[in-house]
Structure formats: C-alpha cells, structure tokens
Amino acid sequence: MSNGGGESGKKECEQRTKGRFGGGEEFGRAIAKISVAQICENAGFQSFQSSALETLADIAIRYIRNLGQNANYYANLAGRAESNVVDVFQGLEDLGLSQGFLGLSDVNRCPIGSGLVREISQNVNLEEEVPFLFNVPRFPVVKETKLAPNFLQVGENSPNGHIPHWLPKFPDPHLYVSSPVWNPRPLGVPVDKTDLTKEQKKVEWPLMNLQHQFACNGSAPPLFVDPGDATTTKGAAQSNPFLSAPLRFGEKEVTPLFHPAKLESHARNHVLEEKVAPVIDKAKSALDSEDSRNKIVLNSRPSVQFKLGISKKLLTSAMGLSSQRKSVEKTACWFESDDKKDEKKRKKEQILKGPMDKPQELDHL
C-alpha cells in the first residue's frame, strides 16, 4: 500500500511525524540531517537529493532509538534499570549487521566475545575522525514550571490559621463571585449611552482580570477594579493612578461647559463651531458606523471657504454668503446661454447685494 500519491501523501507524512513526535523534534532531525550529510560526504558523495537525505537521517534516528530500546530491554531482563556495555552489544547483535560477524553461530558465547567488538574497533581506528561541524547545546531545554504561589509567597495569612502556609493560596474572589450579567434593553427605547458603557465595563472587568491572572499565573494584582469594591479600589489606586476609579459627580469642581446652542447669537463668527461641534459629538458616539462619518463629511463641506475672485465681497463675506454665492453660480452655470449672460449677471449682483442690506435673512442658515 502506498502512502497516497504525490503531494497529499507528503503532507500526510509530515502531519503524522509532527503528531507522533513532540516539540523539539525538528531540531533533532535537522542536526541528524547535517551529521548524516557529513558521513555521506566522507564516503564520497558530493551532493544529495533532499528526500534521500531526509530518509537517511530518519533511518539513522530510528537506528539510534532501536538500539537504545534493545539495550534497555536486555538490562531490564537482567534485573537492572541502567544499561551497560554488554546490553549495548547484545542490542547491536539484535539489530544485526547484514554481513554478520565472527562467532554469531556460537550459542554459548558472551556477546562481547563475538567479532562485533573487533569490527567496531577496527572501524574506529581506520576511519579518520570527522567531528560534527557545530556545537550542539543540550536539548530539549526544560523550562522551569511556575507553580501557583503559596500563602507565604504572597504574604497573606491563611484563613483561620488551619491551612499550612506552604499550600497554594486561594483564588481571588472575582474568579468565583458571580458578576452582573449583560442585560440587553428592548428595541425602540432611547438609550443613554453612558449607562450602557458602565454596564459593559462591569461585565468586562472580571473577565479582564481573569485573563490577566492566567497570563501572570496568579502573581500580579488585578488590573481592573470594580468601583463598588472599596478595599480593592484603594489598592488599585495606589498602584496605578490611571486605573483608579473615576470620580463621582460633584466630588471635584469643574469649569462649566458652554452649551453649543448659546452660540447662535454670535452667528457670523461662530457659525463654524455651531456646525462642527454637534458633528464632533456625533463622531465620538458613533465610531464604528461609516454612514455617520460620511454624513459628517457631507455636513462639513459647506464650511470650506472658496475664494471666488470678487475682492469686495470677500471682505464682508461670512460663511453663509460664500455658500449662497456658490449655489447661485451653480444654478447660473446650468441655465447659462450667451444671450442671457447680462441678465444673469444683473440678477447675481442683486442677490449678492441683497443680504448685505437685510442681515436677518441669514438666520435660516
């Protein structure tokens, strides 16, 4: 049976190897590939097919593992936990060199007495020494497992004193205390957004704390603190001023806000703020919706001032004047013809002069 043809077969093979062996296996295989390549180079090869090299490296690894297994088996058979030289030679025999060696047929012999030792020693003496190219560190690197902190480490007193201090400490209350559940409001009811964010925060805090706990393995203080919990609030405030609970209304004196509607009396110079301030508020509250952004863009277009070339008008121009001028010009362009140009010009001048005489007409802006 084949392993599945072509590339799909190769992928299966790779997945199987990854599943069978653990992490750190890739490093070992890479080192084995390099050493096998060195051996082959010593034998006389000048280059390798990558698949052939990988195969040979895999065979070398299997050989090492099988030899270890056999040696361990013979050691256990003899009632020992650690293998010795005799076990290794017995294992080598089992793996069997294809050529065989002297004394294999003799049943009552010691494994060392065979020609195997002579073969290997000859091999060592005759072959020139080809040391491995790189310095290989001890692997796999064992990470120190970080245990949960015990009472003594954290500095807490064990409750009631009946629990020894070297046992791990209890988990923080926010992990097992029930937190407020998100309460969706019915549709159609006008929603006060500040209330919504407060509720969201209440629900999120314990979850964020839990995440943080997992990340720091329980040793760090909680990041987010429920303002209702007075004791932890103080602790959090001491550690990080930016994370302290927000001040309640009336706790601190703040300068009063200017309501944007009051600016209507100063229409000429503050038309810009009138238009832009509510727009900015809208932008803050509706960050995600792109429609509102588009609306903002559309609304802010009239606020752009264009120089239209009539210098006298510029001196006295307000926001509304420029926009009106533009709209007048646009309509003039649509209906313009050579014959009626003079008439249109006259009309324009009339309209432009008009607002200067009657300032109250601008209120509609």
Partner 1 sequence: MNQNQQVNEGSRGRQDDDAALSEFLASLMDYTPTIPDELVEHYIAKSGFQCPDVRLIRLVAVATQKFISEVASDALQHCKARQSAVIKDKRDKQQKDKRLVLTMEDLSKALHEKFHSPAMIGAQSPHAMVDFGENDAIGDRNERLDVKGW
Q: Note whether 61 binds partner 1 by CB under 8 A.
A: yes
Count the residues of the shown chain that bind partner 1, applying the rule CB under 8 A. 87
Distance CA 249, CA 254 (A): 10
Tokens, residue 350: 């009339």
β-sheet bridge partners, residue 150: 168
Of 52, 147, 177, 243, which one interacts with partner 1 (CB under 8 A)? 52
Residue 201's alpha-carbon distances to 98, 194, 197, 245, 323, in angstroms, are 73, 11, 6, 12, 45
Decide whether 51 or 183 has the Cβ nearer to partner 1. Answer: 51
Decide whether 78 or 297 has the Cβ nearer to partner 1. Answer: 78
Whether the Cβ atoms of residue 103 and residue 114 lie closer than 8 Å to each other: yes
Minimum CB separation of residue 148 from partner 1 in Å reads 29
Chain residues 18-47 in contact with partner 1, contact rule CB under 8 A: 20, 28, 31-32, 35-36, 38-40, 42-47
Q: Note whether 77 binds partner 1 by CB under 8 A.
A: no
Chain residues 87-106 in contact with partner 1, contact rule CB under 8 A: 88, 92-100, 104
Cα-trace Rg, the chain: 43
Report CA dihedral (193, 198, 199, 201) to the nearest 10 degrees. Answer: 120
Tokens, residue 107: 């049943």
Chain residues 111-170 in contact with partner 1, contact rule CB under 8 A: 112-113, 117-121, 123-125, 127, 129-132, 136-140
Distance CA 70, CA 76 (A): 10
Q: Note whether 78 binds partner 1 by CB under 8 A.
A: no
Of 11, 23, 26, 70, which one interacts with partner 1 (CB under 8 A)? 70
Chain residues 301-320 in contact with partner 1, contact rule CB under 8 A: none
CA atoms within 13 A of residue 35's CA, in its CB half-sphere: 17
Minimum CB separation of residue 44 from partner 1 in Å reads 5
Decide whether 114 or 209 has the Cβ nearer to partner 1. Answer: 114
Q: Note whether 56 binds partner 1 by CB under 8 A.
A: yes
